[in-house]
């Protein structure tokens, strides 16, 4: 177990090994929660607002003809077979 010191301005410095283990970066937002066992520190969600399809629509600049549902289903099936092999058991 590692310990940290609370500074006069109520700040703590996390040990480098903890930051590396949890891939914490400088400036990253963390959440703090009081629990029955003490204080829980965890990473805050990356997206603070709910993301909708309208927020991300058009972020991939596909220039071709729109695909049909059948074409998309076929492409998904081909990808699964390529990744996992052809398994006809349903």
pLDDT reported for residue 34: 96
pLDDT reported for residue 55: 79
Q: What is the DSSP string of 52-82?
A: -HHHHTT-S---SPPPPHHHHHHHHHHHHHH
User: What averages of pLDDT result for each successive group of 10 residues across the chain (90 residues)?
Assistant: 93 93 91 94 80 78 86 94 76
Sorted by where each begins, the domain ranges of the chain are: 53-84
pLDDT reported for residue 6: 95
Give yes or no for a contact between 71 and 62, defined as CB atoms under 8 angstroms apart. Answer: no
């Amino acid at each position: 177990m590692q310990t940290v010191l609370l500074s006069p301005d109520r700040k703590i410095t996390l040990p480098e090994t903890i930051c590396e283990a949890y891939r914490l970066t400088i400036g990253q937002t963390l959440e703090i929660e009081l629990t029955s066992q003490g204080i829980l520190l965890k990473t805050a969600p990356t997206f603070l607002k709910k993301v909708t399809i309208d927020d991300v629509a058009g972020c991939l600049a596909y220039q071709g003809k729109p695909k049909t549902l059948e074409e998309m289903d076929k492409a998904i099936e081909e990808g699964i077979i390529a990744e996992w092999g052809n398994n006809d058991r349903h």
